[in-house]
């Protein structure tokens, strides 16, 4: 089940979103201020965040600093309809935005579109001649099976779900190894090198100076 975090201080709007997204099959978690959202994002994983701009504690723009390195898609929900605010939200890395009051059908459509863009919820994902089967935990290149370790597969799935986005070594480590990162990047680097070699992705899986790695895909 895909997990959606709702960050919004107007409870009536939270209830409306939660009711409708739950009915559509999403698992929803809601927080009513920015600081609670930051706390939650440190400890739990979400597939999508619906983010209000004006929030007590820390506002939606400030929260984007936490969210961007995590590679989680964001839809801004804002009462502000001025063009400059929309542009600011999108520039800061939001994937889409909705202006309050919004139609719930529109909300669900936007959620589905953004999740599709990130391949969330899909069983099979193709990048070039590489096919990743998330259910079978299998990978094929040019139709031929490629043997990956569980960690290599986890890394590949993360890269494919975050195409063209630089992912921090720290995030890769914490998501794939499910432990706290203590600054030793060799484990991640070694696995990425192995993955590159096995998939012939020397030019696709690029090193991003001081950050980590990015999977480059023409879209």
Among 6, 7, 52, 97, binds Ca ion (CB under 5 A): 52
Q: Distance between CA atoms of 110 and 105, rounded to whole angstroms?
A: 9
Query: For residues 97 and 76, is the Cβ–Cβ distance under 8 A?
Result: yes
What distance in Å separates the CA atoms of residue 77 and residue 82, rounded to the nearest whole number? 13
In the complex with Ca ion, the residue whose CB is nearer, 9 or 122, is 9
Interacting residue with Ca ion among 3, 9, 62, 140 (CB under 5 A): 9
Say how far apart CA 195 and CA 156 lie, in whole Å.
Answer: 8
List binders of Ca ion among 66-95 (CB under 5 A): none
Give the CA radius of gyration of the chain. Answer: 18
Number of residues that bind Ca ion (CB under 5 A): 3
Among residues 2, 24, 35, 54, the one that binds Ca ion under rule CB under 5 A: 54
CB of 8 to Ca ion, least distance (A): 6
- Residue window 107-136: x/- pattern of binding to Ca ion, with contact defined by CB under 5 A: ------------------------------
Q: Identify which range of 2-10, 64-72, 101-109, 112-120 contacts Ca ion by CB under 5 A.
A: 2-10
Q: Which is nearer to Ca ion, 53 or 146 (CB)?
A: 53
Q: Which is nearer to Ca ion, 24 or 92 (CB)?
A: 92
Antiparallel, parallel or unpaired: β 212-215 and 205-208: antiparallel
Q: Which span sits near Ca ion by CB under 5 A: 31-39, 54-62, 91-99, 200-208? A: 54-62
Q: 48-52 and 96-99: which strand pairing? A: unpaired
- Which residue, 161, 16, 162, is CA-closest to 77? 16
Map tokens 């994902």 to a residue.
125
Binding footprint of Ca ion on the chain (CB under 5 A): 9, 52, 54
């Amino acid at each position: 089940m895909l997990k959606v975090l709702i960050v919004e201080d107007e409870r009536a709007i939270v209830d409306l979103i939660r009711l409708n997204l739950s009915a559509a099959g999403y698992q929803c978690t809601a927080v009513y201020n920015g600081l609670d959202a930051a706390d939650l994002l440190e400890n739990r994983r979400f597939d999508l965040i619906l983010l209000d701009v004006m929030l007590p504690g820390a506002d939606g723009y400030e929260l984007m600093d936490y969210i961007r390195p995590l590679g989680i898609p964001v839809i801004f929900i804002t009462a502000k309809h001025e063009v400059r605010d929309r542009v600011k939200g999108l520039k800061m890395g939001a994937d889409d935005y909705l202006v309050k009051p919004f139609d719930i059908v529109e909300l669900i459509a936007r959620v589905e579109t953004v999740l599709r863009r990130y391949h969330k919820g899909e069983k099979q994902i193709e990048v070039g001649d590489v096919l990743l089967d998330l259910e079978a935990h299998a990978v094929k290149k040019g139709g031929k099976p490629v043997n990956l370790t569980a960690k290599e597969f986890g890394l590949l799935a993360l890269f494919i779900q975050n195409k063209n986005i630089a992912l921090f070594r720290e995030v890769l480590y914490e998501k794939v190894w499910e432990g706290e990162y203590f600054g030793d990047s060799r484990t991640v680097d070694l696995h990425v090198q192995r993955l590159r070699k096995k998939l012939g992705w020397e030019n696709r899986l690029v090193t991003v100076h001081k950050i980590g790695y990015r999977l480059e895909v023409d879209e």
